Copies of this chain bind each other. A is one copy, B any other.
Amino acid sequence: MTTIKDIARLSGYSIGTVSRVINQHPDVSEEARRKVEEVIRREGYQPNSNAKLLKQRSTSSITVLVKGRMNIFFGSIIEHIQTELRESGEEAIVEYIDDFDNEVLLAIQLCNERKPKGLIFLGGNIEYFRKDFARIDIPCVLLTNNASSLGFANLSSFCTDDTAGSAEAVDFLIRAGHKKIGIVGGSADEDDVGEGHIDYERLRGCEAVFHKYGIPFDRRYQYVPSRFSMPDGYDAAMKMFERFPDVTALFCLSDIIALGAMRAAADSGRKVPDDLSIIGYDGIPYSYYSVPRLSSVQQDAELIARKGVEDLLIRLNYSRPAQHEIIPFRVLAGETVKKPKE
């Protein structure tokens, strides 16, 4: 294996100079840089990342902490993150955590055990961040949730305006003529649904619209919580049908849940969209191919991933303030929303 030592010998410079060339230090002569780079290219030399990290005292790569398993929307963001990182020669380790577990506590543990240089949270509960994030001091990015209200200097966030997105979803249903609307998805634990939490944001957006139109909405029986998975969406929709049999439209807080709900509709003898309208959230590629095509509020997975990675990579090397940005969403009309019967 060729090491920095070989490059030094072959180029006629010292190990230190070679190291400076590799790390783009400014104080290297043009000639030295040229020669060393030439040898590096010729030998196909790759610095040993362990030795490098050992010196720099940071242990592992960037870690991505994913909230919830089997979530296709997050899956597509993860792919984009990996692609972006690889282009910059970085690699990512992905950790999954249950929808209802505390990602910030896990992050703290990871920081102790593996010392990642940076963290990307894919989904998260703002309350957990408020409580414990101060104990994390490496650069972090939160994706799909808004952390701007928290004011942590090392936590950026990139997300859709969930309040507005949910509002548009419900608005879309109401304008189609629906009044008996059920909402499915999010945390069952009332304590969890604090301000800033995704579920809260989305629910609040919905309630504002109901209020605007003067349509009553009773959270206690028009809202059924659900993990972000198809089986859970299925069960939650079934529970909704039981509890609120004449519901004419469903807003599901994610497409995965919506797809589970579509199957639940079929199994309970409801035709979509004739008997029941459904609109989802996320706009995953799959929902575009479902029959009927799922109506949804589309988040821009690629842009969220790209902005998040770019921000993290910059802050990994330069002390810049964290930033927070809202990524635009788009309502996909689809084929699952229709005027209610009668």
Contacts and interface: CB of A to CB of B under 8 A. Distances in A.
Interface in A89-137: 91-96, 112-115
A44 B76 contact: no
Interface stretch (A18-26, A188-196, A259-267, A310-318): A259-267
A66 to B, nearest CB: 9
Contact of A61 (B54, B69, B93, B96): B93
A230 B285 contact: yes
A70 interface: yes
Interface in A29-51: 44, 46, 48-51
Nearest to A272: B291
Interface in A256-311: 259-260, 262-263, 266, 272, 285-286, 288-293
A86 B82 contact: no
Nearest to A89: B113
A72 interface: yes
Contacts of A92: 93-94
A230 B293 CA distance: 13
Interface residues of A, number: 49
A53 interface: yes
A49 B82 contact: no
Interface of A: 1, 44, 46, 48-51, 53-54, 57, 59-61, 69-70, 72, 75-76, 79, 82-83, 86, 91-96, 112-115, 230-231, 234, 259-260, 262-263, 266, 272, 285-286, 288-293
23 contacts: A1-B57, A44-B112, A46-B113, A49-B59, A49-B60, A49-B114, A50-B51, A50-B54, A60-B91, A61-B93, A69-B79, A75-B75, A82-B94, A82-B95, A82-B96, A94-B94, A230-B285, A231-B285, A259-B289, A259-B290, A263-B290, A266-B291, A286-B286
